[in-house]
Amino acid sequence: MNITEKILAKHAGKEHLKPGDIVNVFIDCRVARDFGGANVIEHLQNNNLKIEDTERTFFTFDCNPGGSDQKYAANQHMCRSFARKHGIKVFDVNCGIGTHIAIDTGLAYPGSTFLSTDSHANIMGAIGAFGQGMGDRDIAAAWANGKVWFKVPESVKLNFIGKLPEHISAKDFVLNLLHLFGANQLLAKSVELYGDCIDTFSLDQRITIASMATEMGAILLMFPPSQAVLDELKAKTGNAYSPVYADPDTTYAEEHTIDVSNFEVRISLPGHPHHTVALKDLPSTFIDSAFIGSCTNGRLEDLRLVAEVLKGKKIADNVVLKIVPSTDTIWKQALNEGLIRIFKDAGALVSNAGCAGCAAGQIGQNGPDEITVSTGNRNFSGKQGKGMVYLASPLVVAASAIAGYITAPHIKLHTPKKLSCVTPSSESSHPVQQTLSHKPTQVQGRVWIINQDDIDTDMIFHNRYLTITKLEEMAPCTFDNLKGYENFAKEAQAGDIVMTGKNFGAGSSRQQAVDCFTALGISCILAQSYGAIYERNAINAAMPILVYTPEQIAPLLLSNKDIISVDFLTGGIKNITKNTSSYIRPFFDVQNDIYQKGGLLG
């Protein structure tokens, strides 16, 4: 077995597992964040469920640690009150990013299992642990039962050869992987990384790379723990760990050999992390703001590199640089080493630890037409405000903040030409639609054909609505950040069917991106594939989702708004408008069981 299979087998009480097996997995550490925590509590209370083990159960307030929004503040207060009543540990607004705290304090460790409402919980692959971001129903089930169901993923082995060129950081490394594999070629795969360069990566570098598994659609990017990483974890936690390694005769679904000597300093263009270009090929681009931090690049090694670039220099006129360490411990280390002084002398805003610019809730948002260069892991339209966000390494962001345009420390400064940009669509407000109150196994309705891959959760249900927890308030928000479909919620009818491309629901773990369709009365969703977390959230919420291939639906001769019918149990699909039929993949057994119960917690 490979690393993931071994970890899942141990935690499921099985001697052996293979891809496709569905098992109940014991979870060593179970976390809810500030915006997802209130939903978890409501699920527990509404279903009269108790906490299985409070010693393994935690809250982390990292998405909006300032509580600067009233609904965030209310959610945090709700979580604190619940925690006091039940004796649950809260890593509060002074602590930092929950996944990083878990690594640095030993809540997660090599060979362990970890769940969080944070879609980047798969960052645990950095230490050879199995971490997953999940929706609030999953987390509620884990809190109540100690276990959640999981389908063993197929695995991919990446073998890296060659020597990394000078100036290539860990962030550049993962941006090169995004360039090679895009957002869905590794969809729902467990990916293991091997090679000489992998062995030399530090813990902080591994965290940067593992953090962006979500943006690649992968279950996780798994690093076999090196002795140096094990020694660092022991120094942090006081514990010695016995890591899990793949068997020598492990068979992988895919293997790829990648020559890292060809890697370049890369930039993600606004809109999608996987739309990258080499920095040398990027047209001259002025910036208005810069952000250094997030779970991807808020570590001490990142801050040291930034300080080397900023020392003795000043931020360009009319450019704002915001720097946010990932944890309070790292913040204090940066203070003791004099890094904070360098940042402040350069003119940067330094905030308390947390997710910060990535979640747009801690240090403010960017405005319309504003161009930001960021070390975050996502740059979906509207993710950090209404401006445009480029993703880059800490070195590139720091150098760009000084120059006033996107550049790198090893590139000679020049005077670029100002570029124009396109602002995202503005908010729209639509009336709430009638919700469905029955769960049929056959449905019929108009089909909305959205020929687009990688529709992320910010396009489906924008992060500015994350504090909405009531179903009836979600409907008007559906697709209002998907270009061309801003009026979807207004025009949709109960019973309609959504058909889209690959990797539908990429991105965050927000349950609302599923529930908004339930609120509208959408009868089912058809896609070529789904983001791993989104697929779980939909199944657990009893939202019918099915998978098709282009070959399977070709005989239907579908046109937009044709009337079609879908049988969940047989996979039969008919185009009633054109009198054609075919078959797609039906519900699998676990999906049907959850659907018949009305949801995972039914």
96 in any annotated domain:
yes
Count: domains in the chain: 3
pLDDT tens-place string over residues 21-69 = 999 999 999 999 987 899 999 999 999 999 999 999 999 998 877 766 7
Would 428 be classed as within a structural domain? no
Per-residue pLDDT at 385: 79
Beta strand 22-26 with 147-151 is antiparallel
Q: Which helix (H) or strand (E) holds 449?
A: strand 442-449
pLDDT at 424: 38
> Same domain for 378 and 508?
no
**379 and 336 together in one domain:** yes
Q: Are residues 108 and 235 in the same domain?
A: yes
User: Do 512 and 472 meet the contact criterion of CB atoms below 8 Å apart?
Assistant: no
Domain containing 79 — which CATH number? 3.30.499.10
Low-confidence stretches of the chain (pLDDT beneath 50): 417-437
Do residue 110 and residue 257 come from a single domain? yes
Q: Which of 262, 285, 310 is the last residue of a domain?
A: 262
The reported pLDDT for the residue numbered 432 is 34
Domain termination site, one of 246, 262, 278: 262
User: Does residue 125 sit in the same domain as residue 220?
Assistant: yes
Instruction: Tell me the pTM.
Output: 0.87
Does residue 418 fall inside a structural domain? no
Output the pLDDT for position 35: 77
Q: Are residues 135 and 73 in the same domain?
A: yes
Q: Which pairs count as long-range contacts for 42-48, CB under 8 Å and 24+ apart, including other chains?
A: 42/469, 43/136, 43/137, 43/140, 43/601, 44/140, 44/143, 44/144, 47/140, 47/144, 47/601
Name the DSSP class of 283. P
Cα-based torsion angle of the residue sequence 581, 582, 588, 592 in order, rounded to the nearest 10 degrees? 0
**133 and 228 co-located in one domain:** yes
- Is position 132 within any domain? yes
User: Is 419 within a domain?
Assistant: no
Whichever domain contains 527, its CATH number is 3.20.19.10
Domain annotation covers residue 304: yes
Q: Do 253 and 276 fall into the same domain? A: no
199 and 152, same structural domain?
Answer: yes
315 lies in the same domain as 456: no
**Are residue 189 and residue 253 in the same domain, yes or no?**
yes
Identify whether 391 is part of a domain.
yes
Check whether residue 255 and residue 274 sit in a common domain.
Answer: no
Last residue of a domain, which of 247, 262, 277? 262
Q: Is residue 427 part of a domain?
A: no
Domain of residue 518: give its range: 442-597
Radius of gyration of the chain (CA): 23
